[in-house]
Amino acid sequence: MENILIKTVDLTKTYIVGEVDVHALKSVNITIHKGEFVAIMGASGSGKSTLMNLLGCLDMPTSGDYFLDGINTSKLPQNEYANIRNQKIGFVFQGFNLLPRTTALENVELPLMYDRLEKIKDHQKQALEALKRVGLADRIHHIPSQLSGGQQQRVALARALVNEPSLILADEPTGNLDSVTSVEVFNLFQKLNEEGITIIMVTHERDFAAFAKRIIEMRDGRVIKDTIIKDRLDAEEELIRVKATAEISE
C-alpha cells in the first residue's frame, strides 16, 4: 500500500548476557501508516524500548526485516543507516540526552550539521523555528542545567523536529515529568501529528495513551493487543482541565 510507513516482518532481538539469551523481541509484525499516532504500552521489560530502538535505527535486529518507507533497513550499510536517522526520524528519549554545557540552540542545530544533503541552508534560523514550535523561543541560550525537565524535553523535541522528519519516536517522553508538563508535551505531539508527522510513543499510563489514535500492547517481547481509539482525548482541552484541578488542589 502507498501510505505504509513502517512494516516489520518477524522482527526479533535477542541479547546475549553471559550464558543467557534474553529474548527481548520475538517475531514482531506490525504495520504503521503515515499520519498515525501510536502509543505502545506494556509492562516493564516487555520489550517496548527494544522495539523503539530498532524502529529508530539506533540498534540492529537479531533477525527479521524492518521496512521504513518501503526500504529494507536491515540490508543497508552503516552510513545509510546514519542518514535515515538524520533525515527521516526524530528520536525523543526519556532521559532527554542533550549535550551538556551546550545551549538549547546549539543542541537543536546538532542534526543539521550531519545533514549531507544540506537541504537546510540557514541552520540557526531553522533551529530557532523548531524551538518556537515547542514554545521555547525565550530560552534559546540556556544550557540544559538551566532548564526545567519539561523545557529540556521540549528542547529534545525541537531537536527531533529540526530536520523535518516524517516519523517521531518517543520512548517514555514524559517519564520524568509531572502530569501538567506531560499533557503539555502530548499537546505538542498532537499538533505535530495534525501537521502530518507520524508519531510512535511509549507510555506507561493508560491516561496518556488516550491521546494517541492507536494503542499497541506488548508482553514478553510480543504484540498482544492492537486497538484503534475511537474517542481520543484532546490534549488542548485536557490541559485546561488539568490546570484547573491543579489550581484547586493548591
Ligand X SMILES: Nc1ncnc2c1ncn2[C@@H]1O[C@H](COP(=O)(O)OP(=O)(O)OP(=O)(O)O)[C@@H](O)[C@H]1O
Binding site for Mg ion (CB under 5 A): 49
Least distance between ligand X and beta carbon 189 (Å): 19
Question: Parallel, antiparallel, or unpaired for β 4-17 and 63-68?
Answer: antiparallel
Q: Which of 5, 11, 28, 48 binds ligand X (CB under 6 A)?
A: 48
Q: Which does 187 bind (CB under 5 to 8 A by kind): Mg ion, ligand X, another protein, none?
A: none
**Are 171 and 153 a contacting pair, CB within 8 Å?**
no
Residue 126 within binding range of another protein, rule CB under 8 A = no
How far from 17 is each of 49, 64, 132, 222, CA to CA, in Å?
17, 21, 44, 20
Residue 224 within binding range of ligand X, rule CB under 6 A = no
C-alpha cell at 90: 526524530
Q: Which amino acid is at 39?
A: A
Q: Which of 45, 81, 82, 135 binds ligand X (CB under 6 A)?
A: 45
**Matching residue, cell 516519523:** 167
Residue 157 within binding range of another protein, rule CB under 8 A = no
CA 39 to chain centre: 10
Residue 214 within binding range of ligand X, rule CB under 6 A = no
How far is it, in rounded angstroms, from Cα 203 to Cα 200? 10
* Contact residues: another protein, CB under 8 A: 53, 56, 58-60, 78-79, 82-83, 85-87, 91, 93, 97-102, 106, 110-111, 113-115, 159, 163
* Contact residues: ligand X, CB under 6 A: 15, 17, 22, 24, 42, 44-50
